[in-house]
């Protein structure tokens, strides 16, 4: 996906507050920021994530987008896969029965600055941990984790 194309440049020039350049970190930088966010989580969240892989991915796969009904938006920032804690799960399975993905390219599009991007990575991680804990989107939105 080209973030710096000719059409974007024109749109940015005409409406810079609506079309800002993506804050796209390299794959390595993004993975490092996700790892840092994980290390800064409170102990109870780190405990809940024990054995749950958290991956830094570029974009959601079509399988992930179409795994539910209705299908998910391709612009999702993250995804919790699997049943919430407390529900049956076979941890040794492949793929693992529970996992979290944070989407590098989608997150880069929602942030106007690097600081906003780093904050959004943490917010998205907390949101997905909420799903791991069994909260739905309405409950998460009520807690400011939308």
CATH number of residue 66's parent domain = 3.30.2010.20
Could you tell me the residue range of the domain that residue 29 belongs to?
Answer: 24-142
d(C-alpha 122, C-alpha 38), whole Å: 8
Separation in Å, CA 120 to CA 63, 68, 114: 24, 24, 10
Closest CA to 116 of 23, 7, 36, 49: 23
Residue 14 lies in a domain: no
DSSP sequence for the chain: --SS-HHHHHHHHH-TTTSPPP----HHHHHHHHHHHHHTS-HHHHHHHTT--EEEESS--HHHHTSSSSPPPTT-SEEEESPPTTS---TTSSS-SSEEEEEHHHHHHH-SSHHHHHHHHHHHHHHHHHHHTT--HHHHHHTT--
Residue 53 placed within a domain? yes
Give a yes or no: residue 48 inside a domain: yes
- pLDDT at residue number 28: 97
The answer to whether residue 95 is domain-embedded is yes
Q: What is the pLDDT along the chain (146 residues), one digit of tens a residue?
A: 444 457 666 766 777 777 677 788 999 999 999 999 999 999 999 999 998 999 999 999 999 999 888 999 999 999 999 999 988 887 665 667 899 999 999 999 899 899 999 999 999 999 999 999 999 888 988 888 88
Distance CA 44, CA 123 (A): 16
Rounded distance, CA 87 to CA 82, Å?
A: 9
pTM for this model (two decimals): 0.84
How many domains in the chain?
Answer: 1
pLDDT number for residue 130: 95
Within a domain: 87:
yes
């Amino acid at each position: 996906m080209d973030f710096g194309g000719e059409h974007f440049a024109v749109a940015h020039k005409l409406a810079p507050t609506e079309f800002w350049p993506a804050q796209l970190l390299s794959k390595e930088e993004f993975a490092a920021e996700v790892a840092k966010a994980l290390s800064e989580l409170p102990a109870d969240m780190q405990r809940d994530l024990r054995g749950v892989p958290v991956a830094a991915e570029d974009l959601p796969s079509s399988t992930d987008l179409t795994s539910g009904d209705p299908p998910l938006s391709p612009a999702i920032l993250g995804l919790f896969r699997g049943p919430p804690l407390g529900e049956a799960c076979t941890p040794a399975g492949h793929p693992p029965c529970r996992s979290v993905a944070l989407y590098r390219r989608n997150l880069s599009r929602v942030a106007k600055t690097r600081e906003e991007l780093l904050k959004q990575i943490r917010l998205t991680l907390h949101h997905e941990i909420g799903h791991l804990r069994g909260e739905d989107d309405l409950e998460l939105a009520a807690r400011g984790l939308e």
